[in-house]
Amino acid sequence: MSSIRDKLGLVKTEIPIDEIPSHTQEISDWLRLRYLNETNQNSYVLTAFDWIEESVPQKYKLQQINTNVDISSKVEKEIIWDNISEFVERKNVKEVVGLPNEEYSKNLTSNFHTTFQDVIGDVQYSQIVVNPWPEKIPDLDSKDKLFIRYSYDVNSPLDMLAADTYVFVKAMSNCEYSPLVSLLIMSGAKNPSQRIRMLYLIGDDESLPITNVFRRISQEYSIKNKLIGVKNGKEKV
């Protein structure tokens, strides 16, 4: 039975927050197999999945995906560094190369890069700043290297979905996950405190979650361990 069906076999149209991680994993894998086209081998793109409350309180639908993702100091605290450390170790490379966009280089804090180097141990971490759109991502020597793309790639169909929510919704309209996709494209902008996010590294062979669920804009709550944020000692879902 498809995971978007409940125990009675009925198709889910909105999901509670505790189901977001599993559905995001499935959708990221679905997108990876159909829309990912990296310029460089052994390359993974940082991708955000944004979910919003649409009509039912505490039930969510997928609004959009994003590349060129902002990692502020607040977002940095949500990163599961153990996942990144284990991921790099599995790849058995000598160097990890970050590819930030020149125009959006401040999307990533300096502490993010420092922490990345710290958690991967003896593996070298470096950066190559790439030119902004419409310039293409350069074709780089990938021997013994792992690339993490923090930037938009004009050659990637996945990035085209991230750049235009209408295109994303249309792409998802004929797949099994379409009931979970929001059609109210502007609703998140009108109520940003209700938008929550997960970050993934997406590559040819896997989609790796590097955060749990967290609120994208609201500073009041941080939803950790998939479920709970705390305010004034009281649990908030």
Structural tokens at position 14:
């909105």
Q: What is the pLDDT of residues 28-81, one digit of tens each?
A: 999 999 999 999 999 999 999 999 988 788 899 999 999 988 898 899 999 999
Report whether 34 contacts 187 (CB < 8 A).
Answer: no
Q: What is the pLDDT of residues 94-109, one digit of tens each?
A: 999 999 988 877 778 8
Q: What sign has the CA pseudo-torsion 112, 118, 121, 122?
A: positive
Q: CB neighbours of 106 closer than 8 A, spacing ≥ 6?
A: none
Rounded to two decimals, what is the model's pTM? 0.86
Burial class from Cβ neighbours inside 10 Å (0-12, 13-18, 19+) for residue 175 reads middle
Structural tokens at position 117:
């180097």
Report whether 200 contacts 210 (CB < 8 A).
Answer: yes
Mean pLDDT of the chain: 85
Give which of 90, 57, 110 is closest to 208, Cα–Cα.
90
Interatomic CA distance for residues 47 and 51, integer angstroms? 13
Domain boundaries, the chain: 17-236
Give the confidence band of 89 by pLDDT, cuts at 50, 70, 90. very high
